[in-house]
Amino acid sequence: MTIQELSVIVYAGTLPFHLIIREVEKLNDIPNPLDITHCGIVVNISGAELHKLIDTGKFVNLKKKHYDDLKKDIRYKDDAVRAFVIEAVLPIIRIVPLDQQYINEYHGEMYFRLPKNAKHIRGEDWYDVIGKDYEHHKLDMIAIAKKDASPKEIADLAKTASLFCSELVSIILNRCGITHLVAANVIPEELSSGAGKYDLLAASHYSERKLAKDKK
C-alpha cells in the first residue's frame, strides 16, 4: 500500500485513554462526528532506507536505547518504497508501516486525508521528530483538548522537548508549506473534515477516506 506523502491519518481509537480524550473533547465546540482521538502523517520510504537512517544517526533525537524497538516497529528491510506513518505513541515519536497488518491490529477506525497538491517531504522536514518524547503530561493534553489552555500554557507547551500527536503533524505540515497551523494549539479533530468550519485542512486536503480492515 502506498498513500501519498503528507496525507494525514486521523484515528478514532477505542482504548481506555482514547475514550477519556473523547469525553474531554466534548467540552469544546468543535464537531467530531467520527470520534477522532489522535493523528499521524505519511511519508513514503523503504524499510532499508529507514534502517540506514537509524544506523547512521540521522534521527538525531532517537536515543540508542530505542534503536532496536524502532527497527522492530519498521518490520521491513527491503528496498520497496511503502507508506509509513509518523505517530506519537508512548514513549516516543515513531515511524511504522501503514500496511494491512497495522490497519487490522488497530483498536478503532482509521481515515486518511489526501493532500490536494502532491509534495515530496524532505528529510529535514521530519528526521528530527523521530525519537522525541511523546507528551507524557496528560493534564496538558487535556487542557488543549478542552481548548481552555491559556496563551502562556500554549507557549510553554511549544517550548517543551516532547510532542503530542497533532503538534507533530502540524510541525511537519508547517515545514511543507501549510503554515497557518499553530502547532501547540491544534487538536486532532481539527484535522478532520468532520470539524466543519473548524477544519484546519479544508484548503489543503481532501475529505476522509476510511482505511478498511480485512474482513474476517
C-alpha 33/C-alpha 193 separation (Å) is 10
Percent pLDDT > 90 in the chain is: 60
Percent pLDDT > 70 in the chain is: 85
Cis omega (within 30 of 0) for bond into 16: no
pLDDT, residue 216, reads 64
Cell numbers for 172: 511537519
> Is pLDDT above 80 for 143?
no
Question: What's the CATH code, domain 8-210?
Answer: 3.90.1720
**Count of all residues that appear for the chain in the document:** 216
Report the candidate in 140, 197, 163 with the shortest Cα–Cα distance to residue 24. Answer: 140
pLDDT, residue 161, reads 59
pLDDT, residue 65, reads 95
- The angle subtended at Cα 115 by Cα 7 and Cα 25, nearest 5°, is 60
pLDDT, residue 138, reads 55
Q: What is the DSSP letter of 175?
A: H
Question: In the chain, what are the domain boundaries?
Answer: 8-210
For residue range 31-71, list pLDDT tens digits in order: 999 999 999 999 999 999 999 999 999 999 999 999 999 99
Q: Name every residue whose Cβ is closer than 8 Å to that of residue 71 and which is 6 or more positions away in sequence.
A: 51, 54
Report the candidate in 92, 105, 82, 83 with the shortest Cα–Cα distance to residue 11. Answer: 105
For residue range 157-204, list pLDDT tens digits in order: 555 557 888 888 988 998 898 878 876 678 899 999 999 999 999 999
pLDDT, residue 185, reads 77
> For residue 173, with 0-12 CB atoms within 10 Å meaning exposed, 13-18 middle and 19 or more buried, which class applies?
buried
C-alpha 194/C-alpha 200 separation (Å) is 11
C-alpha 141/C-alpha 130 separation (Å) is 20
C-alpha 45/C-alpha 47 separation (Å) is 7
155 pLDDT tier (thresholds 50, 70, 90): low
- pTM, two decimal places: 0.89
